Structures are given as C-alpha cells and as structure tokens.
Amino acid sequence: MSIEASSISETLTLMRERLSRVVPDAELQIKAELVYEINRLKKERGAIILGHNYMEPALFHTVPDLAGDSLGLSREAAKTEKDPIIFCGVRFMAETAKILNPKKTVLLPAKVAGCSLAASITAEDVRALKAKYPGVPVVVYVNTYADVKAEADYCCTSSNAAKVLEHLGAPKVLFLPDEYLAKNTAIESGRPYMVVGKTSDGNLVESEVFPGQEGKGLVIAWHGKCEVHEQFTVEDIENARKQFPEIEVITHPESSPDVVEASDYSGSTTRLVQYVKDSPKKQFLILTECSMGDNIIAEAPDKEIARLCSVRCPHMNEITLEDVLHALTHNETRIELDEDLRQRALLSVERMLQIG
Ligand code: 13P
Ligand code: SF4
C-alpha cells in the first residue's frame, strides 16, 4: 500500500523492501522520486488513490491507499470522503466511481485507458436487444461505459455475477457484453444459454441454445470478448502442467469456458490473489494480466507464479507513475457525466451493491 516516508531516500529504502524481488534496483532508484512526490502531493491535496490489481508493481505497491478488484474499488469509491479520487485503472472503473460519488472530482491518470469489453457494446445495441426481447431484465458487466449501464436493470462484476442472476430468478436474462463471463456464469449455475451477435449490416443473430437444468432461466449473452483473456488456451494449461506437474492453474472468468473448465480455480482478480495466498501449494499458473503475478510475488515470496506475459492488457498498462503525478498536479483527466445519464446508471450499480 501507499508508502509513508519523509524523504526520497526513505521512500527508496521502503520500495526496496517491498519490491526488490520483482523490480530491478535501477528502476526503483528512478521511480523513488516520483513515488515520494505523488504521496506528498496526495497528502497535501487530501486526495485518495485507488489502484486496480492489474497496476504494474512499482505503482501498485507504492501509491494506492486502497487496491482491489472492480467490486471492491467501487465500494471504496462510493464511501470515500476524500477529494479528488485518483483512479488507477481503466475508464469504465473511473466512471463507476463518478456514478457513485458525483460530488467528488474523479481523475483518470490517462486519456484513453479503454477496454475491449466496454467497447464491444453501445447503448443503442442494448436498446435494440431490449426491443427484441421485451420485458427481459438486463444485467450488464461493470466493464461497460455509463451510457450502457444507464440502459440496464442491474450491474454485476466477476465476483457477484452468479449472485445477481440468482437474485433475479427470471425465466430469461440479457447478460451483456462478455460472452465468456456469461457462459461461465450460466454453466456454474446450471442455466441454459445462447449468444446474440450483430452482423455487419446491423442485424441481431441468435446462436443455438446450449441446454441447462430443467426450470433454470435462459442466459442471453452478447458476443463481446476481453482481448487479453480470449487468448488463453487449454493448450497453454496442458503445456504448463507438463513442465510443472505440481502447478495449480487459476483463471479469470473472462476466459473461455474450456479454459475455465481445465483450470483448478476461477474468480475475480481479488479472489485469485487470495486463493494463491491461502493455498498450501507453491506453484501457480495465473491466466490473467501478467502484472498481477508480479504483485503477488512481491508480497508472497514463497510462491512461484508462471504467467503468460506476451499477453498484456494495453489499457491497464497505459497508466504510469508519471501519469499519476500529472493527474494530481494538473487535475487531469477529469471524468464528467451527464447528470440524467449518471442517475440512470446509478440505479443498476446501486442494485448490484445491495445484492453484495
Ligand atoms: P475484476 O473485477 O476481477 O478485477 O476484473 C476486471 C477486469 O477488467 C479483468 O480483466
Ligand atoms: Fe478490459 Fe480485458 Fe483489459 Fe480487463 S484485461 S480491462 S477486460 S481489455
């Protein structure tokens, strides 16, 4: 967590204690000044820094006051009294903070910081789906922009998707936009599912229905994918198991159902971190953004973490310590939302937070 130090040299000493297993000393020396200045300015301004689990280790372990997954950070953003909120994550996360805490200034330390899932669906797509399936409740993954959340009945994250479906208990649910999260959640709860896609001429096309248990409601998925998690394969898992026969494979549920099925455990980023920390096992393959493996090694030196670092999230990796300092110094990039749209989006996010 955030480093409390009264000088650059003390900052460097503390950074070495936390990070020397994963970050070369030359880099720590360069970054110590930035870390010191960010934490000094944060205190002076009464700001809070929230950091997603995917931030690179020299940022993750030095400047966030609170770190976690999308659900945990949404909860923190809703209740903080501090101002401004600097959100070290991608745009949809910073937007969720603004939806929940509109009076505070929310700053995203990068201009774009997109997400292939959030980009896979528009508010107009949701309206077209609602017209095709009238009366069917709409659940949207938190990885969507505010205008899409404004069209939804409920929001969900990777840690409460099954709970939200259970709560709804409806005969049909539109579950958007992550095809794989929808399928994994449907499979986990024994529900039938199908996928709806949009053709290049704008028509909506349904897949066949994959059967589930008798009496369970149908999950209607959209064809969005995470550009990182869709790249992991069962072959990656088989190769790792051949090389390290004792390895445990843990996977984020944005990966394909085949990959999730071939893994030992699947869960939100915070659940994956907790699983490794709690497990008596030593070797893990983590199928999610590579930086998270570095962040775990820094804290749990007895664990060996294999990760596929050729597959990275370019959006999460956009955020650097330099950007965080720039955000604090220049109040950029501010998240602004239309008030009517924010209030409509808030309904779906609040309903999710009430479910837990
Ligand atoms: P979590 O909510 O599990 O942190 O996931 C967010 C994300 O974007 C994963 O790719
Ligand atoms: Fe979006 Fe995938 Fe990056 Fe997560 S890892 S922010 S879902 S592109």
CA of 114 to the centre of ligand 2 (A): 8
Task: Answer whether 0.75 is exceeded by the pTM.
Answer: yes
Banded pLDDT at 356 (limits 50, 70, 90): confident
> Is the distance from CB of 284 to CB of 303 less than 8 angstroms?
yes
Over residues 211-218, mean pLDDT:
95
8-114+316-330 is a CATH 3.40.109.10 domain: no
Q: What is the pLDDT of residue 180?
A: 98
Ligand nearest to the CA of 290: 2
CA of 276 to the centre of ligand 1 (A): 17
Contact residues of ligand 1, CB 6 A cut-off: 53, 69-70, 143, 157-158, 226, 252, 254, 268-269
Question: What pLDDT, in 10s, does the model give residues 63-79?
Answer: 999 999 998 998 899 99
Q: What is the pLDDT of residue 220?
A: 98
Q: What is the pLDDT of residue 71?
A: 86
CA of 316 to the centre of ligand 1 (A): 10
CA of 44 to the centre of ligand 2 (A): 33
Ligand 1 atom at minimal distance to the Cα of residue 271: 3
Q: Whose CA is nearest to atom 1 of ligand 2?
A: 115
Q: What is the pLDDT of residue 261?
A: 98
Q: Whose CA is nearest to atom 7 of ligand 2?
A: 226
What single DSSP character describes residue 2? -
Which mutation among 90, 156, 272, 319 tests ligand 2's pocket best, with the greatest number of atoms within 8 A of CB? 90
Say whether 229-307 and 118-225 share the same fold. Answer: yes
**Residues with Cβ < 8 Å from 188, sequence gap 6 or more?**
162
> Is the distance from CB of 120 to CB of 225 less than 8 angstroms?
yes
Q: What is the pLDDT of residue 79?
A: 94
Q: Whose CA is nearest to atom 6 of ligand 2?
A: 115
Banded pLDDT at 3 (limits 50, 70, 90): very high
Over residues 233-258, mean pLDDT:
98
Which CATH number does 229-307 carry?
3.40.50.10800
Task: At 14, list the tokens.
Answer: 């503390």
Question: What pLDDT, in 10s, does the model give residues 148-197?
Answer: 999 999 999 999 999 999 999 999 999 999 999 999 999 999 999 999 99
**Residues with Cβ < 8 Å from 87, sequence gap 6 or more?**
50, 73, 77, 93, 94, 97, 106, 107, 108, 109, 335
Task: At 105, list the tokens.
Answer: 């200034």
Question: What pLDDT, in 10s, does the model give residues 97-153?
Answer: 999 999 999 999 998 999 999 999 999 999 999 999 999 999 999 999 999 999 999
Q: How far apart are CA 259 and CA 201, in angstroms?
A: 32
Over residues 270-276, mean pLDDT:
96
Task: At 175, list the tokens.
Answer: 């579950």
Q: What is the pLDDT of residue 1?
A: 84
Calculate Rg over the CA atoms of the chain.
21
Contact residues of ligand 2, CB 6 A cut-off: 90, 115-117, 143, 226-228, 254, 289, 313, 315-316
What is the chain's mean pLDDT, rounded?
Answer: 96
Which mutation among 158, 181, 349 tests ligand 1's pocket best, with the greatest number of atoms within 8 A of CB? 158
Q: What is the pLDDT of residue 44?
A: 97
Percent of all residues in the chain with a pLDDT value above 90, rounded to a whole number:
97
Q: Whose CA is nearest to atom 2 of ligand 2?
A: 226
CA of 229 to the centre of ligand 2 (A): 8
Q: What CATH number matches the domain at 118-225, 3.40.50.300, 3.20.20.60, 3.40.605.10, 3.40.50.10800?
A: 3.40.50.10800
Ligand nearest to the CA of 91: 2
pLDDT over 90 (residue 24): yes
Banded pLDDT at 86 (limits 50, 70, 90): very high
